[in-house]
Amino acid sequence: MAFALVTPLGVMRETEVESVVLPSALGEMEILPGHRPLLALLVPGELRLRQGEQGESLVIDRGFVYVSRDRVVVTVEQAMRLQEVDVSAVELAQRRAEEALRAAAGQREALDSEEIKRLEAKIRYQLAQKAVKNRYS
Amino acid sequence: MKGAKEIQQRLRAVRNTAQVTWAMQLVASAKRQKAQALALRGRPYCLRLAELLRCFSEETLKGIAHPFFERREVSHRGILLVGTDRGLCGSLNTNLFRPVAGLENIRWMTVGKKASQYVSRTGGELLASFHISDRVEFSELRPIGEGLAQAYIQKRIDTVEVLFPSFVNTLLQIPVLQRVLPMRDFQSEFDALLQRYRLRTEDFRPDPREMIGEPSIAELLEELSHAFFRYQLYQILLEAKASEQSARMVAMKTATDNAENLSKGLNLEYNKVRQAAITNEIVELSMAQLGMEE
């Protein structure tokens, strides 16, 4: 079946696959050829592609998966290949985000709720990057 | 015929102008490439979100109590006018404002100085005006998105529409009035998007089978409408910026070409005048010589 991974920066991956494993809001799910039409919410986590012996792992941010006509389209805000995840850089970014959030907690009105939500989403994605990376090392 | 000195002055002025417009053309050309690349690369994401929304029928929406899907009487249309900050981009702004000329009961928001100038010139009611840098950062979108959503939720405006120059290619930009809120008619909105991006409908046929929605239709719609609202606006700003830089580059190129043509003509005229003066002098000399010989 056809697979495509789309982010705001363009089409990141477009390939034929036999199986896709995704972090859905209800837990991990696998999509195989012939799957029913599906639209599901995705949470930050690991996306695994398999084609024959070949496998590939990516870390994705929140988004959606859409299965129709034997095509799987994953639309997420950010994605990164597992090899490209740099744990030390992630930790640094995470510390910065958490600090900003702590600073904001003292003075809630200075930072609006939208900004806090954004920071929290950022931290969730960073946690997912770390968790997936740790799984493989 | 003008004197040689006057022509020379004119020639110098035209050459200076050509030099300035040529420099501006180069700057716009570099910015155009970046802006176009950004606009084109953002399209698939926006298109896919629109495709996801298409899964939901009008029937489904009726059961959802979300202000973005609410149908209500329109007493004031809200239009975000996306113009440019600076001029020298040909007829881009003039063409843009044409579709809304004479419309009534509109509350405006604007991006770019030219847009706010238009609204105040026509005596429109301006709610807010924003500025977007050439880099079009996603963070620059937030005040605009929130401003529009707030005004819509507080019922100061009953629709959110955006008028912007849609980017087709370097030579062609078309003004498009796009409804953003309330969200509905997803199929026709999606088709309009496909047409604007010059994509074939056959590649995006809907699946007729019944679809499963996880974790629930309401949660999906909540997330999806929020994401689509923001990214659609962001994509619109990217497209408008690509249009602006393209229009500016073309306008500057035309100006440079015109100045060069003009300077060629002036140069010819100058040479003629100079030659005529020389000929006159020779004639005078030889006449004088003839006179002395007699």
Pair (B262, B146) in one structural domain? no
Q: What's chain A's average pLDDT?
A: 87
Q: Which residues 40-69 of chain B have a CB within 8 Å of chain A?
A: 41-42, 44-45, 48-49, 51-52, 55
Candidates B47, B202, B211: best to mutate against A (most CBs of A within 10 A) is: B211
Q: B157 vs B80, B118, B125, B152, B233, CA distance in Å?
A: 11, 20, 12, 5, 17
User: Distance (Å, rounded) from C-alpha B87 to C-alpha B114?
Assistant: 8
User: Given pLDDT bands bounded at 50, 70 and 90, which one contains residue B185?
Assistant: confident
Kindly report, residue by residue over A94-117, the tens digit of the pLDDT.
888 888 888 777 665 666 777 777
> Which residues from A are below 8 Å from B51, CB to CB?
66, 73
Partner-chain contact A9 B41, CB within 8 Å:
yes
- Domains held by chain B: number: 2
How much is the average pLDDT of B104-116?
91
Confidence of residue A74 (pLDDT cuts 50, 70, 90): very high
**Inside any domain, residue B244:** yes
Report, as an integer, the average pLDDT of B131-149.
88
Residue B276 falls within a domain, yes or no? Answer: yes
Residues B179 and B263 in one domain: no
ipTM given for this complex:
0.85
The C-alpha atoms of residue B292 and residue B177 are separated, in whole angstroms, by: 84
How far away is chain A from the Cα of B225, in angstroms, using its nearest Cα?
12
- Quick one: B31 and B162 in the same domain? yes
Tokens of B129: 């005006």
pLDDT tens digits, B40-57: 999 999 999 999 998 888
Q: What is the pLDDT confidence band of residue B1, given thresholds at 50, 70 and 90?
A: low
Nearest to B45 among A6, A40, A66 (CB): A6
Question: pTM (2 decimals)?
Answer: 0.86
Which residue type sits at A117?
A: K
3-state SS assignment for residue A54: strand
Q: Give the pLDDT score at B61.
A: 80
Q: Are residues B235 and B268 in the same domain?
A: no
Give the structural domain span for B184. 26-248
Tokens coding A17? 């696959």
Task: Answer for the pair A126, A133: CB distance below 8 angstroms, yes or no.
Answer: no
What CATH number has the domain bearing residue B88?
3.40.1380.10
Grade residue A84 by pLDDT with cuts at 50, 70 and 90: confident
Q: Which residues from chain B sit within 8 angstroms of residue A24, using beta carbons?
A: 214
Domain membership of residue B253 (yes or no) is no
pLDDT of residue B210: 83
